[in-house]
Amino acid sequence: MDLVILVLKPMKTEYEKMRSQELYYFSDPEIHASLVHAKKVCARLRSMTICDEDYRQVIEELIPGIPQSTTICPPFHCDHGTGIILGENVFMNYDCIMLDGGYIRIGKHTLVGPHCQFYTPQHPMDYVERREEKETAYPITIGEDCWLGGNVVVCPGVTIGNRCIIAAGSVVTKDIPDDSLAAGIPAVVKRSLKK
């Protein structure tokens, strides 16, 4: 008689599903606790400036591992903070929003204008699933040495290459290759920036 051994994989938590681009319940208690923590820290940050003595401590509580050379100007809004990965010398101007259910990575020496918005969650097309409080979060990646003008919106799953400029007010719905100037709603590549 053959011996059959079953190896059972542990089930992923809803939080793990969120980080893995799988459909998850956004009302899950662990996710909710993470949201509440981030909202409380963002509220403390709102009453500060980058010159305040406690600013660095509060921003590091919100975004673990943020480089000393990186600046985020309050007010700032995010869902978790733990899904935000910023390179050296990133500068984010006032009133940016990062819905970081999926990871948001921004490369070094990138400038982000005021009121920019980064959305990783995507709700299902099926209305029944939307009623069940399900969504999927897709990562956003911004390359190195980029410049996003004010009021740029970056949609779920988008990658913007290195050395790109995204014009103010653009809505980026598709990937943008390296060395591109993109503008519009939706953003399209207007020209190459290669020298």
Q: By CB neighbour count within 10 A (0-12 exposed, 13-18 middle, 19+ buried), where does 57 fall? A: exposed
Average pLDDT of span 177-187? 99
Which residue in this structure is represented by tokens 């400029």? 165
The residues assigned a catalytic role are: 123
Task: Give the largest Cα separation in the chain, rounded.
Answer: 73
What does pTM read for this prediction? 0.93
pLDDT at 44 over 80: yes
State which fold the 14-192 domain adopts.
UDP N-Acetylglucosamine Acyltransferase; domain 1 (2.160.10)
DSSP-derived secondary structure for 28-62:
-HHHHHHHHHHHHHHHHHHT--TTSTTHHHHHHHH
CA 14, chain centre distance (Å): 18
> In percent, how much of the chain has pLDDT > 90?
92
* Calpha distance 145→163 (Å, rounded): 5
The 10s digit of each residue's pLDDT in 132-175 is 999 999 999 999 999 999 999 999 999 999 999 999 999 999 99
Smallest Cα–Cα separation from 24: which of 157, 138, 134? 134
Going by pLDDT thresholds of 50, 70 and 90, the confidence category of residue 78 is: very high
Output the CA torsion 170→176→181→183 (10° steps). Answer: -20
- Cβ neighbors of 64 (< 8 A, separation 6 or more) are 81, 82
